[in-house]
Structure 1
Amino acid sequence: MNNVSRLAVAGAVAASSVLLLSGTAFAHVSVQPQGEAAKGGYATVNFKVPNERDNASTVKLEVTVPADHPLSSVMPQPVPGWKAEVTRTKLAKPLTVHGKQITEAVSKITWTADGGKIEPGQFQQFPVSLGQLPEDTDQLVFKALQTYDNKEVVRWIEESKEGAAEPEHPAPVLPLSAATGDHHGGGATKADDKSDESASGHHDADAKTEAAAHSDAGDTTARVLAVVGIVIGAAGVAFGVLAGRRRSA
């Protein structure tokens, strides 16, 4: 086998490995916000469930709501072909939300196939409204169980550790952004206002710079077109003179 053939084989193997690893990395249950999930506010999120098997379909999903950061409001959106069941648990320490005490919170959501299923090569999203999001953490970890119609259960419950490789079955993690005034429970501070003013000033300056750049570009284009016109005109005059001389001759 010559060097070119060896390089071709090595490249093919490397490409196949990358594709294989990429498929594995993205094929787990995850949670993704629709928009922003800000501390102290409310958010709608999607639990995305891909089917990892070639010979079985997903027929059940159980998501555990973190007990260390209980949420007063958890409402699943209806999904055609699936039945959602919400399990509530009494809180050891009541929550105070909008001046009211909450003594129990949702601890688990279970979706069971009711005419629907996630077949091989497909995925399904399960939307849920969450709130009030905690203000004392940067993320929420939702452990999940995925059940197939061949009775296999995949436990997405392993928490990732900083500096360590991603576990084989990572739990879905919802990152929380800084609180903003656009969410219930999140208030804007004076520092935020100054930051907004500063950002506005930067935007205005950028807009002026961009306008000036467009103006310069327009002037340059006009000059180029003028020069081209002059050159074409001169060429036309020269052609006319030469044509006249030929006729005279």
Structure 2
Amino acid sequence: MSKRFVLRAAAIVAASTLVLAGAATSASAHVTVSSPDAKPGGYAKLVFRVPTESDDTSTTKLVVSLPKDRPFAHVGAQVKDGWKVEKKTEKLPTPVKVGDVTLSEAVTTVTWTATAAGIPPNDFDEFALSVGRLPEGVDSLTFPADQTYSDGEVVKWADGAEAERPAPTLKLAAATTPVAATTSSDPVDPVARWLGGVGLLVGLLGLAFGLAFGLRSRKAAQAGTADAGKAQS
């Protein structure tokens, strides 16, 4: 096995490992929304998962914006130790009918503010809402969110699904199917993502060593043929 081949195989494996690690980190760092029971026309629990993407600052505030074009008649916010919660109600541009109720105003933002340490560096916490009714005839609902850090930085999760900082988006399925939602077009569970990545890495390692073994076998066969030719002569 040549030294050049070994170095090339090692470089391939190292590069693949970095790509997989970067992809997993990117996916897990987003602020996301999910629901164990969301369905059109019903009531649902929305869970916002908030990671602190910092080594030395904490998350101290979360502001979640609710859709104004499809407002909720009911919004209940989770009460959490160490956090103050506030709901803001605004007058809607035009009245909206939700089920049997016509709303002229609705809750448009929910804010959790830390009264203690907040979410420590590299940790996460979850914040829940009870809302209803969910609108019918739509595939998803978007909840832009502002995340404030202890050093004053504000991260706005308000972009499209493929952007660096996508807004938390709840995917709605048929009324008979419970759903889970994510902020991206890829709803793969993080554990499954890591297992898939490990499998790919193992495959790359096998390919590299398989090529190395084949090269070594081919050289041995060529050497054997040359020795046989010398013996006959």
Q: TM-score, normalised by structure 2?
A: 0.71
How far apart in 2 are the matches of 1:178 and 1:99? 21
Deviation for aligned residue 1:135: 0.4
Alpha-carbon RMSD across the aligned residues, in angstroms, is: 1.8
How far apart in 2 are the matches of 1:116 and 1:67? 32
State whether residues 76 and 131 of structure 2, in contact with CA within 8 Å, keep that contact through their aligned partners in structure 1: yes
State whether residues 66 and 142 of structure 1, in contact with CA within 8 Å, keep that contact through their aligned partners in structure 2: yes
Residues 145-196 of structure 1: per-residue CA shift (max 9 Å, x gap): 1110011111100023xxxxx10110000011222499xxxxxxxxxxxxxx
Equivalent residues in 2 for 1:1-249, closer than 5 Å: 1-33=3-35, 35-97=36-98, 99-160=100-161, 166-180=162-176
Q: Which amino acid aligns with 2:42?
A: G
State whether residues 89 and 108 of structure 2, in contact with CA within 8 Å, keep that contact through their aligned partners in structure 1: yes
State whether residues 39 and 177 of structure 2, in contact with CA within 8 Å, keep that contact through their aligned partners in structure 1: no
Query: Aligned to 1:6, what secondary structure does the other structure show?
Result: helix
Residues 196-232 of structure 1: per-residue CA shift (max 9 Å, x gap): xxxxxxxxxxxxxxxxxxxxxxxxxxxxxxxxxxxxx
State whether residues 96 and 103 of structure 2, in contact with CA within 8 Å, keep that contact through their aligned partners in structure 1: yes
Deviation for aligned residue 1:5: 2.9
Query: Aligned to 1:2, what secondary structure does the other structure show?
Result: helix
Please identify the structure whose Cα radius of gyration is greater. 1
Closer/same/farther in 2, CA of residues 98 and 154 from structure 1, 3 Å limit: closer
Residues 1-21 of structure 1: per-residue CA shift (max 9 Å, x gap): 431232023202211221122
The worse-fitting range, judged by mean Cα deviation, of 131-140 and 100-109 is 100-109
Q: Which amino acid aligns with 2:106?
A: A
Closer/same/farther in 2, CA of residues 181 and 149 from structure 1, 3 Å limit: closer
How far apart in 1 are the matches of 2:157 and 2:119? 17
Closer/same/farther in 2, CA of residues 181 and 101 from structure 1, 3 Å limit: farther
Q: Which amino acid aligns with 1:28?
A: H
How far apart in 2 are the matches of 1:85 and 1:157? 20
Deviation for aligned residue 1:98: 5.7
Deviation for aligned residue 1:120: 1.2
State whether residues 141 and 174 of structure 1, in contact with CA within 8 Å, keep that contact through their aligned partners in structure 2: yes
Query: Aligned to 2:23, what secondary structure does the other structure show?
Result: helix
Q: TM-score, normalised by structure 1?
A: 0.66
* Percent identity (aligned): 42
Residues 103-130 of structure 1: per-residue CA shift (max 9 Å, x gap): 2111001110011411112001001101
Deviation for aligned residue 1:96: 4.1
State whether residues 48 and 123 of structure 1, in contact with CA within 8 Å, keep that contact through their aligned partners in structure 2: yes
How far apart in 2 are the matches of 1:93 and 1:83? 31
State whether residues 51 and 120 of structure 1, in contact with CA within 8 Å, keep that contact through their aligned partners in structure 2: yes
For structure 2, which runs of at least 5 residues remain unmatched after alignment?
179-233
Bigger relative contact order, structure 1 or 2 (CA pairs below 8 A, ≥6 apart)? 2
Query: Aligned to 1:89, what secondary structure does the other structure show?
Result: strand
